[in-house]
Structure 1
């Protein structure tokens, strides 16, 4: 079942975290933060919505990094119920696609809860001070990629954040698979 996150809560401060990365490091929000802003993406390996756009996510991440935006991806799914989203599989996925950003594992799911992450993919675009400016979609893609010339919503919004410190007033929520929460 597809789910969508709530609208952007402008200025909401990014919760800090320190999580293990697939490259062996442990990274915090401060380690990821860029001089012009930071993009925190909640993704996972098995989600068809993420699979449909992973090449676009990588393209946009590289383009945003060139603008001074720090980029990170976090997987918070229950790896017991979804072993394809476990840490070893994450490392293989990052290697296979050549992720230009760190891929972090939120095994406890505390970071996803702190961010109120809802789905994969779920995008959180912060300004240079860590205030939320974008909580929208990558582009018009769903379970299938949008046409090649589709507007790059995430890129355009974060480019605006890099240039002005403010995200667009109008944002279209992302859509994807629900975060796979551990049983209580």
Structure 2
């Protein structure tokens, strides 16, 4: 079932955390904030929405690095109910898609809850002070990859944030599969 997150809560202070990464290291979110900001993306391995855009997520993360924007992805899905989202499967997913950014495991789901993550993918774009400036879509792709000339909403917003510290006032929410909460709790 598709889920849509709420609109951007401008200025909301991002919550820091330390989570294990598929690279075998522990990662503190605040250590990945660049001089242009940080994207925190909630994704997973099995969601058709994520599968349709994972190449574009990797592309945009790589391109944003040149603008001083850090990038991390977090999987918070219940791996007991969805084994394809297990930590071991995450490692393979990261390798297969050549992720150049940390792919982190939120096994307790505490970070997804703290952020109010609603779906996969769900993008949170912060300025250099970790104040939320973007909560919107990657682009107009849905369950299938869109055309190559789609406007790069997340990328363009984060480039603007890297320059001014402020996000665009007009944002289109992401859409995707709902976060798979443990014990069916939402």
User: Same fold per TM (> 0.5)?
Assistant: yes
Residue of structure 1 in register with 2:151 after alignment: 151
2:155 is paired with a residue whose SS is: helix
Quote the offset at 1:39 in angstroms.
Answer: 0.3
Structural mapping, 1:113-152, within 5 Å: 113-152=113-152
Work out the CA distance in 2 between the residues paired with 1:96 and 1:20: 19
1:107 is paired with a residue whose SS is: coil
Runs (5+) with no aligned partner, structure 1: none
Structural mapping, 1:22-101, within 5 Å: 22-101=22-101
TM-score using structure 1 length: 0.99
Equivalenced residue count is: 184
Task: Provide Cα deviations, 1:108-140, integer angstroms capped at 9, x if missing partner.
Answer: 000000000000000000000000000000000
Task: Provide Cα deviations, 1:50-86, integer angstroms capped at 9, x if missing partner.
Answer: 0000000000000011110010000000000000000
Quote the offset at 1:30 in angstroms.
Answer: 1.5
2:12 is paired with a residue whose SS is: coil
Quote the offset at 1:33 in angstroms.
Answer: 1.1
Task: Provide Cα deviations, 1:12-70, integer angstroms capped at 9, x if missing partner.
Answer: 00011110001111111122111110000000000000000000000000001111001
Does 2:148 correspond to 1:177? Answer: no
**Superposition RMSD on alpha carbons, in Å?**
0.7
TM-score using structure 2 length: 0.98
Work out the CA distance in 2 between the residues paired with 1:103 and 1:49: 17
Does 2:107 correspond to 1:112? Answer: no
Runs (5+) with no aligned partner, structure 2: none
Q: Which runs of 4+ in 1 moved over 3 A?
A: none
Residue of structure 1 in register with 2:20 after alignment: 20
